[in-house]
Amino acid sequence: MNLSSKAEGGALVVSVHEARIDASVAIQFKDRMREETENAEGRVVLNLSEVDFIDSSGLGAIVAAMKQLGGENPLELAGLNENVDKVFRLTRMDTVFRIHATLEEAITE
Amino acid sequence: MTNSQSDIHIELAGTPQEVRNALETLRQKLTAEEFAACNAGVLELVLAEVLNNVVEHALAGREDGQIVITCNYVEQCWNVEVRDNGAAMPDGQLPAGVMPDVDGAMEELPEGGFGWGLVRTLAEDIDYKRRASGHNALRFRVPD
Protein backbone atom coordinates (compact mmCIF):
# COMPACT_ATOMS: atom_id res chain seq x y z
CA MET A 1 0.00 0.00 0.00
CA ASN A 2 1.82 3.06 -1.26
CA LEU A 3 1.11 6.14 0.88
CA SER A 4 3.26 9.24 1.35
CA SER A 5 2.84 12.29 3.56
CA LYS A 6 4.16 15.81 3.87
CA ALA A 7 3.25 18.98 5.75
CA GLU A 8 1.59 21.60 3.53
CA GLY A 9 -0.23 24.79 4.47
CA GLY A 10 -0.61 23.87 8.12
CA ALA A 11 -1.99 20.43 7.38
CA LEU A 12 -0.45 16.99 7.04
CA VAL A 13 -1.27 15.79 3.53
CA VAL A 14 -1.36 12.01 3.10
CA SER A 15 -1.46 10.97 -0.55
CA VAL A 16 -2.62 7.50 -1.64
CA HIS A 17 -0.62 6.27 -4.64
CA GLU A 18 -2.96 3.39 -5.45
CA ALA A 19 -5.85 3.03 -7.88
CA ARG A 20 -8.02 1.07 -5.45
CA ILE A 21 -8.85 0.98 -1.75
CA ASP A 22 -10.86 -2.23 -1.47
CA ALA A 23 -11.45 -5.25 0.77
CA SER A 24 -8.12 -6.82 -0.23
CA VAL A 25 -6.10 -3.87 1.14
CA ALA A 26 -8.38 -2.32 3.79
CA ILE A 27 -6.32 -3.57 6.75
CA GLN A 28 -3.02 -2.51 5.15
CA PHE A 29 -4.52 0.91 4.47
CA LYS A 30 -5.45 1.36 8.14
CA ASP A 31 -1.96 0.28 9.25
CA ARG A 32 -0.21 2.56 6.74
CA MET A 33 -2.42 5.50 7.75
CA ARG A 34 -1.43 4.96 11.38
CA GLU A 35 2.27 5.01 10.40
CA GLU A 36 1.99 8.10 8.19
CA THR A 37 0.02 10.12 10.75
CA GLU A 38 1.90 9.13 13.91
CA ASN A 39 3.29 12.64 14.41
CA ALA A 40 0.36 14.61 13.02
CA GLU A 41 -0.35 17.97 14.61
CA GLY A 42 -3.61 19.55 13.53
CA ARG A 43 -5.68 18.52 10.58
CA VAL A 44 -4.87 15.69 8.20
CA VAL A 45 -5.89 15.86 4.53
CA LEU A 46 -6.24 12.53 2.74
CA ASN A 47 -5.47 13.13 -0.93
CA LEU A 48 -7.47 10.60 -2.97
CA SER A 49 -6.82 12.12 -6.40
CA GLU A 50 -5.02 8.99 -7.66
CA VAL A 51 -7.75 6.67 -6.32
CA ASP A 52 -10.16 5.47 -8.91
CA PHE A 53 -12.32 3.02 -6.91
CA ILE A 54 -13.30 2.33 -3.32
CA ASP A 55 -15.77 -0.22 -1.99
CA SER A 56 -17.51 -0.22 1.40
CA SER A 57 -14.50 -1.96 2.99
CA GLY A 58 -12.27 0.87 1.75
CA LEU A 59 -14.79 3.37 3.10
CA GLY A 60 -14.76 1.56 6.45
CA ALA A 61 -10.96 1.75 6.52
CA ILE A 62 -11.07 5.52 5.95
CA VAL A 63 -13.63 5.86 8.76
CA ALA A 64 -11.38 3.75 11.00
CA ALA A 65 -8.44 6.03 10.17
CA MET A 66 -10.51 9.07 11.15
CA LYS A 67 -11.41 7.44 14.47
CA GLN A 68 -7.77 6.52 15.13
CA LEU A 69 -6.79 10.16 14.62
CA GLY A 70 -9.49 11.38 16.99
CA GLY A 71 -10.81 14.91 17.46
CA GLU A 72 -7.36 16.53 17.79
CA ASN A 73 -6.43 15.67 14.21
CA PRO A 74 -9.57 15.92 12.07
CA LEU A 75 -9.33 13.87 8.86
CA GLU A 76 -10.46 15.75 5.75
CA LEU A 77 -10.68 14.45 2.20
CA ALA A 78 -9.63 15.91 -1.13
CA GLY A 79 -9.61 14.95 -4.80
CA LEU A 80 -12.48 12.45 -4.89
CA ASN A 81 -13.35 11.25 -8.37
CA GLU A 82 -16.97 10.58 -9.35
CA ASN A 83 -16.98 6.89 -8.33
CA VAL A 84 -15.35 7.57 -4.98
CA ASP A 85 -17.59 10.54 -4.24
CA LYS A 86 -20.66 8.40 -4.97
CA VAL A 87 -19.76 5.92 -2.22
CA PHE A 88 -19.48 8.76 0.31
CA ARG A 89 -22.78 10.30 -0.78
CA LEU A 90 -24.82 7.08 -0.88
CA THR A 91 -23.69 6.10 2.62
CA ARG A 92 -24.10 9.71 3.88
CA MET A 93 -20.46 9.69 4.94
CA ASP A 94 -20.21 12.97 3.00
CA THR A 95 -21.98 14.50 6.04
CA VAL A 96 -19.28 13.16 8.38
CA PHE A 97 -16.11 14.21 6.54
CA ARG A 98 -15.10 17.64 5.37
CA ILE A 99 -14.60 17.10 1.63
CA HIS A 100 -12.56 19.48 -0.55
CA ALA A 101 -12.90 19.46 -4.32
CA THR A 102 -9.15 19.72 -4.81
CA LEU A 103 -5.98 19.38 -2.78
CA GLU A 104 -5.16 23.06 -3.47
CA GLU A 105 -8.46 24.09 -1.91
CA ALA A 106 -7.75 21.89 1.12
CA ILE A 107 -4.33 23.38 1.85
CA THR A 108 -4.91 27.04 1.02
CA GLU A 109 -7.49 27.76 3.69
CA MET B 1 -28.12 -19.14 -22.18
CA THR B 2 -24.63 -20.54 -22.64
CA ASN B 3 -21.54 -18.82 -21.37
CA SER B 4 -20.25 -17.99 -24.80
CA GLN B 5 -23.31 -15.81 -25.42
CA SER B 6 -22.73 -13.62 -22.37
CA ASP B 7 -21.23 -10.20 -22.91
CA ILE B 8 -19.05 -10.69 -19.86
CA HIS B 9 -18.20 -13.98 -18.14
CA ILE B 10 -15.69 -14.12 -15.28
CA GLU B 11 -14.85 -17.05 -12.99
CA LEU B 12 -12.93 -16.60 -9.76
CA ALA B 13 -11.97 -18.32 -6.53
CA GLY B 14 -13.37 -17.00 -3.27
CA THR B 15 -10.64 -14.67 -1.96
CA PRO B 16 -10.40 -10.86 -1.67
CA GLN B 17 -7.44 -10.82 -4.07
CA GLU B 18 -9.42 -12.79 -6.65
CA VAL B 19 -12.28 -10.31 -6.27
CA ARG B 20 -9.90 -7.47 -7.00
CA ASN B 21 -8.50 -9.26 -10.05
CA ALA B 22 -12.01 -10.02 -11.32
CA LEU B 23 -13.09 -6.38 -10.97
CA GLU B 24 -9.96 -5.23 -12.81
CA THR B 25 -10.81 -7.68 -15.59
CA LEU B 26 -14.36 -6.32 -15.60
CA ARG B 27 -13.02 -2.76 -15.85
CA GLN B 28 -10.89 -3.69 -18.86
CA LYS B 29 -13.85 -5.31 -20.59
CA LEU B 30 -16.06 -2.32 -19.81
CA THR B 31 -13.62 0.14 -21.32
CA ALA B 32 -13.77 -1.82 -24.56
CA GLU B 33 -15.42 0.30 -27.19
CA GLU B 34 -18.83 -1.37 -27.30
CA PHE B 35 -19.45 -0.73 -23.59
CA ALA B 36 -17.67 2.59 -23.28
CA ALA B 37 -20.90 4.51 -22.64
CA CYS B 38 -22.37 2.07 -20.13
CA ASN B 39 -22.63 2.59 -16.41
CA ALA B 40 -19.28 1.01 -15.59
CA GLY B 41 -18.62 2.62 -12.22
CA VAL B 42 -21.95 1.60 -10.71
CA LEU B 43 -21.78 -1.95 -12.08
CA GLU B 44 -18.28 -2.33 -10.64
CA LEU B 45 -19.37 -1.04 -7.22
CA VAL B 46 -22.44 -3.29 -7.00
CA LEU B 47 -20.41 -6.33 -8.06
CA ALA B 48 -17.67 -5.47 -5.56
CA GLU B 49 -20.18 -5.41 -2.71
CA VAL B 50 -21.90 -8.62 -3.81
CA LEU B 51 -18.58 -10.45 -4.27
CA ASN B 52 -17.13 -9.21 -0.96
CA ASN B 53 -20.26 -10.49 0.76
CA VAL B 54 -19.96 -13.90 -0.89
CA VAL B 55 -16.28 -14.18 0.08
CA GLU B 56 -16.81 -12.98 3.67
CA HIS B 57 -19.98 -14.91 4.45
CA ALA B 58 -21.11 -17.61 2.00
CA LEU B 59 -17.55 -18.88 1.41
CA ALA B 60 -16.07 -17.97 4.80
CA GLY B 61 -13.30 -20.37 5.80
CA ARG B 62 -13.54 -22.49 2.65
CA GLU B 63 -10.72 -23.13 0.23
CA ASP B 64 -12.80 -24.55 -2.62
CA GLY B 65 -14.97 -21.46 -3.14
CA GLN B 66 -15.92 -20.78 -6.74
CA ILE B 67 -17.80 -17.78 -8.10
CA VAL B 68 -19.12 -17.24 -11.62
CA ILE B 69 -20.25 -13.82 -12.86
CA THR B 70 -22.19 -13.22 -16.05
CA CYS B 71 -23.25 -9.78 -17.28
CA ASN B 72 -25.37 -9.04 -20.32
CA TYR B 73 -26.07 -5.56 -21.58
CA VAL B 74 -29.66 -5.39 -22.83
CA GLU B 75 -31.64 -2.22 -23.51
CA GLN B 76 -29.48 0.19 -21.50
CA CYS B 77 -29.36 -2.17 -18.55
CA TRP B 78 -26.87 -4.68 -17.18
CA ASN B 79 -28.47 -8.04 -16.37
CA VAL B 80 -26.16 -9.71 -13.91
CA GLU B 81 -25.98 -13.17 -12.37
CA VAL B 82 -23.55 -14.18 -9.63
CA ARG B 83 -23.36 -17.87 -8.69
CA ASP B 84 -21.30 -19.38 -5.89
CA ASN B 85 -20.90 -22.76 -4.19
CA GLY B 86 -21.03 -21.33 -0.67
CA ALA B 87 -23.48 -21.50 2.22
CA ALA B 88 -27.04 -20.30 1.70
CA MET B 89 -28.14 -16.86 2.86
CA PRO B 90 -29.40 -16.99 6.47
CA ASP B 91 -33.09 -18.06 6.40
CA GLY B 92 -32.83 -18.10 2.60
CA GLN B 93 -33.36 -14.33 2.61
CA LEU B 94 -31.31 -11.46 1.22
CA PRO B 95 -30.01 -8.92 3.76
CA ALA B 96 -32.38 -6.00 4.36
CA GLY B 97 -29.65 -3.59 3.31
CA VAL B 98 -30.54 -0.77 5.68
CA MET B 99 -27.75 1.82 5.65
CA PRO B 100 -26.10 2.16 9.08
CA ASP B 101 -26.75 5.37 10.99
CA VAL B 102 -23.91 7.89 10.61
CA ASP B 103 -25.38 10.66 12.77
CA GLY B 104 -23.86 9.62 16.10
CA ALA B 105 -20.60 10.60 17.82
CA MET B 106 -17.36 9.97 15.93
CA GLU B 107 -16.33 7.02 18.08
CA GLU B 108 -19.71 5.39 17.34
CA LEU B 109 -19.42 5.69 13.55
CA PRO B 110 -19.92 2.41 11.69
CA GLU B 111 -16.93 0.97 9.80
CA GLY B 112 -18.98 -1.65 7.96
CA GLY B 113 -22.47 -2.83 7.14
CA PHE B 114 -22.82 -0.61 4.07
CA GLY B 115 -22.44 -3.31 1.41
CA TRP B 116 -26.01 -4.47 0.98
CA GLY B 117 -27.33 -0.95 1.46
CA LEU B 118 -25.29 0.06 -1.59
CA VAL B 119 -26.50 -2.98 -3.56
CA ARG B 120 -30.13 -2.25 -2.73
CA THR B 121 -29.69 1.43 -3.62
CA LEU B 122 -28.01 0.85 -6.99
CA ALA B 123 -29.46 -2.45 -8.28
CA GLU B 124 -33.01 -3.35 -9.28
CA ASP B 125 -35.07 -6.55 -9.49
CA ILE B 126 -32.82 -8.38 -7.07
CA ASP B 127 -33.65 -12.08 -6.95
CA TYR B 128 -31.99 -14.78 -4.86
CA LYS B 129 -32.41 -18.53 -5.30
CA ARG B 130 -30.79 -21.41 -3.49
CA ARG B 131 -30.36 -24.14 -6.08
CA ALA B 132 -30.83 -27.84 -5.32
CA SER B 133 -27.27 -28.31 -6.61
CA GLY B 134 -26.01 -26.45 -3.53
CA HIS B 135 -25.33 -23.15 -5.29
CA ASN B 136 -26.48 -19.63 -4.59
CA ALA B 137 -27.78 -17.74 -7.62
CA LEU B 138 -28.21 -13.99 -7.30
CA ARG B 139 -29.68 -11.99 -10.18
CA PHE B 140 -30.11 -8.26 -10.46
CA ARG B 141 -30.20 -5.42 -12.94
CA VAL B 142 -28.09 -2.27 -13.00
CA PRO B 143 -29.73 0.42 -15.12
CA ASP B 144 -27.60 2.74 -17.17
Q: Please check the confidence at residue B73 and state whether its pLDDT lies above 70.
A: yes
User: Do A60 and B102 make contact, defined as CB atoms within 8 angstroms?
Assistant: no
| Closest-approach residue (CA) in chain B for A87 | B118
Q: Please check the confidence at residue B4 and state whether its pLDDT lies above 60.
A: no
Q: Place B37 in a pLDDT band, splitting at 50, 70 and 90.
A: low
Q: Please check the confidence at residue B1 and state whether its pLDDT lies above 60.
A: no
What is the pLDDT averaged over residues B44-61? 96
Query: For all residues of chain A together, what is the average pLDDT?
Result: 96
Considering only residues B22 and B143, tell me which one the structure prediction assigns the higher pLDDT: B22
C-alpha distance from B1 to closest chain A C-alpha (Å) = 30
C-alpha distance from B128 to closest chain A C-alpha (Å) = 21
ipTM of the complex: 0.94
Q: Place A89 in a pLDDT band, splitting at 50, 70 and 90.
A: very high
C-alpha distance from B141 to closest chain A C-alpha (Å) = 18
Q: Where are the domains of chain A?
A: 3-107
Q: B12 and B21 in contact (C-beta within 8 Å)?
A: yes
What is the pLDDT averaged over residues A77-92? 97
Q: What pLDDT sits at residue B102?
A: 96
Size of interface A-B (CB pairs under 8 A): 81
Rounded CA separation B14/B63 (Å):
8
CATH fold label, A3-107: Transcription Regulator spoIIAA (3.30.750)
Rounded CA separation B19/B49 (Å):
10
Q: B69 and B9 in contact (C-beta within 8 Å)?
A: yes
The amino acid at B105: A
Q: Please check the confidence at residue B33 and state whether its pLDDT lies above 70.
A: no
What is the pLDDT averaged over residues B65-91? 95
Chain A residues whose CB is inside 8 A of the B118 CB are: 56, 87, 90-91
CATH number of the domain to which B70 belongs = 3.30.565.10
**Residue B11 lies in domain:** 3-143
Query: Is the CA virtual torsion A91, A94, A99, A102 positive or negative?
Result: positive
User: Do B45 and A66 make contact, defined as CB atoms within 8 angstroms?
Assistant: no
At B101-133, the pLDDT tens digits run 999 999 999 999 999 999 999 999 999 999 999
pTM: 0.94
What is the pLDDT averaged over residues B33-37? 70
Which site among A21, A33, A57 would you substitute to test the B interface, given the most B Cβ atoms closer than 10 Å to its Cβ?
A57
Task: Give the total number of structural domains in chain B.
Answer: 1
Percent pLDDT > 70 in chain A is 100
User: Do B118 and A90 make contact, defined as CB atoms within 8 angstroms?
Assistant: yes
Which site among A1, A18, A56 would you substitute to test the B interface, given the most B Cβ atoms closer than 10 Å to its Cβ?
A56
Interface check for B55 against chain A (CB to CB < 8 A): the answer is: yes
At A51-68, the pLDDT tens digits run 999 999 999 999 999 999
Q: Place B32 in a pLDDT band, splitting at 50, 70 and 90.
A: confident
